[in-house]
A and B are shown apart, each in its own frame.
Chain A
Amino acid sequence: DAKTTQPPSMDCAEGRAANLPCNHSTISGNEYVYWYRQIHSQGPQYIIHGLKNNETNEMASLIITEDRKSSTLILPHATLRDTAVYYCIVRGIHGSSNTGKLIFGQGTTLQVKP
């Protein structure tokens, strides 16, 4: 699985967009980018995933560069409840035979401030 690199921490003002970067320079052609977050004392929560096109859902947007070597998760209007650790993970298609084992790194701790 491709390795990912994320900044250890970031701050964001409440109501502003939070842009969380992730580098995955060794990503291969069939690997997806997944984002999860973990709020204190809870299990990780799936946010979004993508292959090469930008994706948007009710929680966030995912922007993947054309060379696919990096991506950015965007929370358009961050709230205090978005304070969490955000994990960027690269893995083969989630229906692949190797069960979609996901390797979680250290993630980015996002602190949303009033």
Chain B
Amino acid sequence: DVKVTQSSRYLVKRTGEKVFLECVQDMDHENMFWYRQDPGLGLRLIYFSYDVKMKEKGDIPEGYSVSREKKERFSLILESASTNQTSMYLCASRDRTPLHFGNGTRLTVT
């Protein structure tokens, strides 16, 4: 089975901090994704990557950046965390398969 692992289940950070959310997949997938999920808004795509060092903006990239130095790892970076970035963050990966998701990181910015 494909495994997508997010490094933290819960995270609490202060406004203005730089935050790193890590995601690792074990199936050699080329494509990796970061979504955020908020009540009433569903899942919204932040960024995705289709190869090492390649990235593309999703629907809501503002305030975020990403890093893909190795194929198995895709990091989401909040350069200066703000309270409106409090959310559930979901990482996913795929190749020629449907998306496989991690269990999410619930980030609270105070």
Contact = CB atoms under 8 A, between A and B. Distances in A.
Contact of B98 (A46, A103, A104, A105): A46
B90 interface: yes
Contacts of A95: 96
Given A105-B42, A106-B42, A107-B42, A100 B94 contact: yes
A46 B40 CA distance: 21
Contacts of A94: 94, 96-98
A104 B43 contact: yes
A46 B2 CA distance: 11
A110 to B, nearest CB: 16
A99 B42 contact: no
Interface stretch (A23-31, A37-45, A62-70): A37-45
A107 B100 CA distance: 18
Interface string B76-110: 00000000000000101010111111111000000
Given A43-B90, A44-B90, A94-B94, A102 B103 contact: no
B64 interface: no
Interface residues of B, number: 24
A79 to B, nearest CB: 20
A28 to B, nearest CB: 19
A74 B31 CA distance: 30
Given A95-B96, A106-B42, A100 B31 contact: yes
Contacts of A34: 98
B45 A101 contact: yes
Interface in A70-102: 94-95, 99-102
Contacts of A105: 42
B45 to A, nearest CB: 6
B58 interface: yes
Interface of A: 34, 36, 41-46, 49, 94-95, 99-107
Interface of B: 4, 31, 33, 35, 40, 42-43, 45, 48, 50, 56, 58, 90, 92, 94, 96-104
